[in-house]
Amino acid sequence: MNQNFKFIFVFFILCSGQTFSQMAGKGNFYKEIKNYDLSKIIDPKSILTEDRENTKEKMQKAEPIGFIGDDYQRLYIHYNSINKNPKNPYEYLVKGKTKVKNTVRSFEGKLLIKKANIEKNSDFPNYQQGFATCELILNEDKNLTSTGFFKGVITVGYIIDPKNNFRYDALMFYADIFSNNEFKGTWTSYKTKISKKCNWGDYRIPNSGDLDIGAGEFMPNPKYLDKGWKYYTLTMYGEPKNDVELARKKEEMNWWK
């Protein structure tokens, strides 16, 4: 092998390695995500739904739906504030409240971005679409009874639209499997140290077993109606009209105030 050929061969290998490295890192958005505000995705004032026919509709985002325990007892969660930590752009300070049955508890905690990606969407070629994987720890007040802490992973879906706006990912809002801000984790009692499975999300709940029997949208299994899902079900399939109106008032009540 002559010297010129060796040079060309080595140059080719180096270039190939560089190209592979770039391809392997394609979609990595971790360094860039610190320049955006993830709170606008987790708790936006409104969302813009879109589909392949370019139909758009602005609407208020529904409150997350969730459960706690093996019996799928309904858990309500509301974020009062989510603020980026000025000392760490990958960390957010979170405050809010939860409700289980008639018990309302405040929490404070932190969300830490661990991974983030982004890539073009083949169905929406003018959009970039991605998600951040975050560690979430929320601590309830230790001075109150029946309190503990939530710990798990929340997956946050976002898009960057043609105008370079960083937004909640609602591109396929009307698809059967649509969901966002999916939390999978546990709640652990301060007193007993016992942990319970606890998941929540927007419009669907991850890993919800036989609780969700809906096709086009989340629909609680009738066997769990007495676990806090009665009024939610009545808003969709209730009879008579008075029962539906009562259920809607219950569901729309700002219990966190």
Q: What pLDDT was estimated at residue 121?
A: 86
The whole-angstrom separation of Cα 226 and Cα 103 is: 16
pLDDT at residue 25, rounded to an integer: 36
Q: pLDDT per residue over 35-70, tens digit each? A: 999 999 999 989 999 887 778 999 999 999 999 999
Q: Model-level pTM?
A: 0.87
Q: pLDDT at residue 101 above 80?
A: yes
- Is the model's pLDDT at 132 over the cut of 90? yes
Q: What's the pLDDT at 177?
A: 87
The share of the chain scoring above pLDDT 90, in percent, equals: 75
Which residue shows structure tokens 């976002």?
158
Q: What is the pLDDT of residue 122?
A: 86
User: Are 96 and 79 a contacting pair, CB within 8 Å?
Assistant: yes
Question: Which candidate, 200, 223, 220, 206, places its Cα nearest to that of 98?
Answer: 200
- In this prediction, residues 203-229 reach a mean pLDDT of 95
The mean-pLDDT minimum among 10-24, 42-56, 82-96, 167-181 falls in 10-24
Higher pLDDT, 123 or 100: 100
Give the pLDDT score at 26: 53
Which one has a higher pLDDT value, 238 or 198? 198
| Two structure tokens written together for 157 | 């879906």
Evaluate if residue 3 carries a pLDDT over 50: no
> By C-alpha distance, which of 98, 100, 46 is closest to 72?
100
The pLDDT value recorded for residue 10 is 37
Average pLDDT value over all residues in the chain = 88
